[in-house]
Structure 1
């Protein structure tokens, strides 16, 4: 049995918005045998643009039952049935959230008619409910009303059943739940509509970078993992809560990948690919230009001072930042953490003592009350906290095969790039390793990636060339 469901809501976020209408059609595998429909009082105003879309107004739901008043009927009519919907994650997420607010766990097997339609009726220009129904001549009355959309989805589901039954041998049981193809679809309903279980099963259980492409082949997301297949399964196991997340999932039409062998190389390569390709759904690492930096110098009194300014190519900064605001905030953090002087970090302009000295947070380096020797110890400690353990070094890690190793090169505190070597490779200097790598940009993200990785129990070999 199948419960074909459609809802209307006050918006797209289950955590914030509420249901305004629900319709359920029960299908026994041959025909619709029962139905339920109700407007629902969401307990809050319906946004004007939502009312324009659905036709449901505050006045219409004012005397309608609240969700808790229809919850029992929803449980009873869907009990033991597969939850079917067009973009099932959206409807299912909202209903689960409404029940969770009542202290009840609502759990059903799910089936998505978008995904099934793409599989069983391939090649259509669009699989949105309205355009899909138009393409295959399904009447759709009261579009964007739960009762109209649910009724159309029930007709669509009936068509999909008949298409699938035509592919089943005559001597097989015609009960849908016993058909391998649909059983598999139920279990994999969290997958994007264009992604099959077979496609996921073919992904490697190895470190690397993976790409989600849309139907035009455009890269819309780049990710990395120690195990590509496991990470992608985690992606698709998430119970998406918003229209934007569902839209992202439904846009994924294919998956490609690059094996790296090394987790560190995967991290570095992903960072570079995001900056270069700027995928629509990657946000955190899109920035590819770093305008500011943290610098250090000794003043005439022997104090080691920190400052922030535009990144200079002739003088490499200790650390690069996206902008001066970010650099300034970073220095404020260093001042607080290591008890440094605001004035000697270029954060306080005054001929006298800094503000922190006046509130007993600075030990007086700004007015000569703390010696350079004592103050500089803390400055050096703060610098060491965001520098590498070595000036020039190579990290030798796992390769893409048993007879290969990955190499990541850093020279004078600057990331140079990565490459691969085989068992025949021998090196006596950093220059030998530099000849086998592909060069990549050094920036704040790569610095943080390498520093963070070196603090883990990685098991890679580090070759120090600092004294060479």
Structure 2
């Protein structure tokens, strides 16, 4: 028998089996039990057939009987277990930089909703406009609501002793665990069930697993008006979860332990260790699952390779157990590795700085030190390269640098907006060819050549806009630009629209602040433990000094001396700005642009007295709510 004929016969057998499933009494019984009457026959068949194929076969025709189905679904499911279905709304994606704006939980016991709670929370900061559009929660709605330190204890008491259930549970759980620990010194480690993971296991034919798609697939009412509010999302998740528990009963999952185990993704056969590797596998298995930096050494204690990862063990394991040819070729270069060192770090910045320094020392190439993403916007009023340009690296050449940007498209848009409003010379390297072609002249005019003396005022005005110092309605800017363009420029209406768009992009890309090389900052971030702190002193964009200490015992005298020496002593020059220091400055600049703060930052403007700096610094160390904030002095 040919292989083609065998495949055809197998497909025919599978089709017959599926028709038998659809026509069986058990299929209709389950459909009614899951309350899937609102969806059509075809959708119900597609939804339930994978479930029936997973059920242990029973009877001569390979189908579970109606009696067996009724037996499995009879009685309440885990009647002694209470599930708390939780949803939260936040100002962004990660604590502590982003805060909670709403907490909601729906309690489910024996397949029924038995209680619920919903609390609006004042995040203590402005809610971004894109979050307002998504959730409908405005600053006015939370202005008179309790802060998280007041609202969180009661909410945690409400869900205490329950199994934690959420859709994409890691997000909600991470926020609650972080703030429970940092604000309340309280451990929150419940058993966790994720409806997203359960959907992947129970509904393999479903293309999308977001809350709206699942609600529609299961025939639940889904209202756009109330979605993305915590209570309505928790209620929808609860109804999905109740149906999922019924499906799990049919699979014989009759305990909480079996349910927790079932939600884990099915893993294929793990790849073998690469040939020639002499590293003891036990050393890999002993690595932490934390965020941090790892170093690979050979038998002579020479650093072969270094890197960073959110899960150190997984990252190192993937290097020595390659999953594809490219990874296999790289593994051949690691044959000499004999041991691994790992350093767990709680801060994204501390990890990036440590990794950068480790990569410089490794014998294998770890990158070219160019900034990730789109690079910098460079403003220069003189020298060999006057004008506005894109660069991928920071330099100490008297120009001003803004960024780094996350994407080249952002730089292209910004250059277009600048050159549409300002008659300035521009430069774009080969990597920005598309932007150079558009060249900010889309719908605009080629800039006239001005006397060198007139460019200074234009650059000063542009810096004012980029740094957020000039309002959009400033008529002086409009008059200056209209005069500079002369008769060759855009019409007054177009010019005003160009200026407005430039202001909009500056706000959208969060550029409002000093250029990179003008920054004077004190950054305090968590270290290897929850109590350890790394303190970085940044002067003129470069790292001038760093110190580590315990949060409960800050070296007050040393910190005060460094503040006075670095920021008030005019003769202090700090470290020489060699290329490595500039690369390191890019690490700090990239971190600030990506909004990945785990501690807090003091932004020093002018000659702030040391006593005031120390008061703010020590106050922020004692206040858990200071985490994720920038304090301007």
TM-score computed with the length of structure 2 as normaliser: 0.33
Structure with greater strand share of residues: 1
